[in-house]
Amino acid sequence: MKYAKPKSTLRLIVNSFLGISFALCLFACQGDEFKLKKALNSFDKGEYELVIQQLKPLAEKGYQLDQTSYFIAESYRLSNRISSALPYYQTALAKGNTDNTIRFNLAFAAKATGNYSLAQSALTDFLQNKPSKSFKLKAEIELENLPQVSELQKKNSPVGVQAVQGNTPMAEFSARKLGDELIITSSRKQSIYKNNGLPYLGLYKAALKSPVEIGTLNLFSPMIDKENANEGTPAFSKDGNTLVFARGNTGKNKDLSPDVDLYISRRNGNDWSLPERLAISDSIAWDGSPAFSSDGKTLYFSSNRRGGKGGLDIYRSPMDNSGRFGRPINLGSAINTPGDEIFPFVSDDGKLYFSSDGHPSLGGLDLFVASRNENDIIIEHLGVPMNSISDDFGISLVDSVSGYFSSNRAGGKGDDDLYYFKSPSRNPERWWTNEAPPVIAATENKIVQYFLQTEIIDPSGKPIDSVKVSIRRNGQSIDPGYSNKRGRLEILDLGESDQIDFVCEKEDYLTKRSAFSMEGREIPARLLKKELTDTTFVWQIVMDKAEVGKEITQLYQINPIYYNLDRSEIRNDASEELEKIVQFLRDNTNVSIELGSHTDSRGSVPYNQKLSQRRAESAVRYIVLRGIDQKRIKAKGYGESQLVNECADGVECSEEMHQQNRRTEFKITEIKAE
């Protein structure tokens, strides 16, 4: 009995210790979950460097590696540091992440590190998992490109390459010689661009002490300096009095988002005029890396606008005598691929230099030159040491045998660095290649004829006849048509860059818009087997009956909109869907709808009911501000009463599963007789 008290005290101490340990563990787990949510919120904002900093400690302690590793990898990729993403993609896959695009991106990350066998196996696995058509084409072409790497590694450029003295740990790239100065894009503004953690880019000038040494970088012009924006890739007319450059990525949207445009400025005495946005810029595309032709009458630039070949394509736009630019023209599938073609430069002899990751390359972006031989366009890889397994880009020639380019290759000072090259060759026509160059691409002798067969059907697949169809080709109206008994329209012939927009109308049916684009559908020239190839695309447009209670779903390419945790504000991705609702209501003027909003299960039932109502009303306000009569829209909050998964109170769920419940959906509530 005398030992009973000490024994009970010991048990009490042990139980207390276990309770404290459990509480600390629970607190730590909740803390890690909060950190992950915070990082995902940063990811949604495109703040990729912040995501990396937030998630690396979680990954190092092994927390939800299928997710933390994946978002670290994606953040590296989306901030142009894909080689650093490789081990994180590998971990995400090993820990059970089932997103097939990981294999696709892992392949290019492996290639950027020189691991070509891993790149090949990853692409092979990716293609076996039935990817979407756009990814599939790029993966297939890359699998064809990879076997050529060994030949490219043997291809020597007979040039001397030196790093420019004056490179810093910041980014320096896209140099253009103007008089006795280099005009350079560099990351050295005061504000930090949260995408990559570096200062915003701006235009700077430096005196040339010698071809390989520059002085101190100074601001190019106070007139061309917007603090919270990236500015760069200058292009000067031959007389040096006109400047075109790219401005955007203000941090409000993700990288390669629709806030990068081309701007023009003209010399005004000793300074430059206030920049104006060029009308040829596409407001919903990324437009950048401009370059003038040697005669100054054509502007070349890169863009991911609709109607391209996939990724970033190179376009040209003619300039008339008044200084106005004409409609941009895609350079075609001989040069543009489903990958990225960017940083064009046109030499005095008319050759087009550019960077690409879609043509056979050593790693990321490689340098190429395109020239014309009668009806053929010949594309050649510039070889080693001009190219490396890293990104090599932004070439500009000073004369026929020397110039500058940019690279983030190993051994540099920092992010991107400037390099000077010069050929000792007495044959300036071929300084970039050896005596027997491999011709990479591409002949124009082989012809592809494209056609479009349009079919209009109901959700069960049954043809709908007598549908009135208004048609626009590349923004220009063509004669409307009516579907026949098989639901078909007359076959259209297609050009390589065509965009066809349809508006389908029939009584008792909801008006349906549909768009067919040739983007990414062209057959690459090097894959053509015959002199003449006919290809017909079948484009099905699904129309649905107008019925009360019907959900407006993906059938009309309208998805539910989603919200951040405990917030009711309309996100950027949600505004895209709400614009579709606005168009739907304009097309169907006799229809009224309900916006039903929901929450996840976290929070009390009364609080969630009020939150969901605020979300619905926020979405309604957005639509009304675009001119839709408020009487046609009802805001209805459902709180947490209609979860789309099992994430109810007390059930442990991932943030992604909770996100599925924080939504607004759309359904028809009234159809008035017309």
Q: Are 315 and 344 in contact (CB under 8 A)?
A: no
β partners of residue 532: 447
Q: Do 154-443 and 554-671 show the same overall fold?
A: no
CATH 1.25.40.10 fits 26-131, yes or no: yes
Per-residue pLDDT, averaged over 74-103, amounts to 92
- Three-class SS state of 127: helix
**Model pLDDT for residues 207-248, shown as the tens digit of each residue:** 999 999 999 999 999 999 988 899 999 999 988 999 999 998
At 426 the pLDDT is 52
Phi and psi torsions of 12, nearest 5°: -65, -40
Could you give the C-alpha distances from 215 to 107, 397, 422, 559, in angstroms and in order?
Answer: 40, 20, 20, 54
pLDDT at 446: 67
**pLDDT at 414 (0 to 100):** 76
The values of phi and psi at residue 110, to 5°, are -65, -40
Query: What does the pLDDT read at residue 18?
Result: 53
Residue 530, pLDDT > 80, answer: no
- Indicate if the pLDDT at residue 136 is higher than 60: yes
Residue 454 has pLDDT above 80, yes or no: yes
pLDDT at 255 over 50: no
Is it true that the peptide bond before 385 is cis, omega within 30 degrees of 0?
A: yes
Cβ atoms of 157 and 383 within 8 Å: the answer is yes
- Taking residues 441-465, report their average pLDDT: 82
H/E stretch holding 623: helix 605-624
404 φ/ψ angles, rounded to the nearest 5 degrees: -130, 150
**Res 334 pLDDT > 60:** yes
Tell me how far CA of residue 10 lies from CA of 2, 13, 265, 381, in angstroms: 14, 5, 81, 77
Sign of CA dihedral 28, 33, 39, 42: negative
Measured between alpha carbons, how far is 442 from 335 in angstroms, rounded to an integer?
8
Percent of the chain with pLDDT over 70: 89
Is residue 289 scored above 50 in pLDDT? yes
What three-state secondary structure class fits 145? Answer: helix
- pLDDT, mean of residues 438-447: 53
Count CB-CB contacts under 10 A for residue 432: 26
Residues 6+ apart with CB under 8 A from 492: 451, 452, 454, 471, 473, 500
> Per CATH, is 554-671 categorized as 3.40.50.2000?
no
Q: How does pLDDT run across 650-674, given as a tens digit for each residue? A: 888 888 889 999 999 999 999 987 6
Tell me if the domain spanning 447-542 has CATH number 2.60.40.10: yes
**Per-residue model confidence (pLDDT) at position 431:** 57
The 10s digit of each residue's pLDDT in 116-125 is 999 999 999 9
154-443, what's its fold?
Tachylectin-2; Chain A (2.115.10)
Quick count: other Cβ atoms within 10 Å of Cβ 631?
Answer: 9
Dist CA 108 CA 124 (whole Å): 13
Where helices occur in 363-476 by DSSP H, the ranges are none
Distance of CA 366 to the CA centre of its chain: 19
Indicate if the pLDDT at residue 429 is higher than 90.
no
Break the chain into its structural domains and give their ranges.
26-131, 154-443, 447-542, 554-671
pLDDT tens sequence across 16-52: 545 545 555 544 556 888 889 888 988 888 889 999 9
pLDDT of residue 294: 86
Neighbours of 426 (CB within 10 A): 7
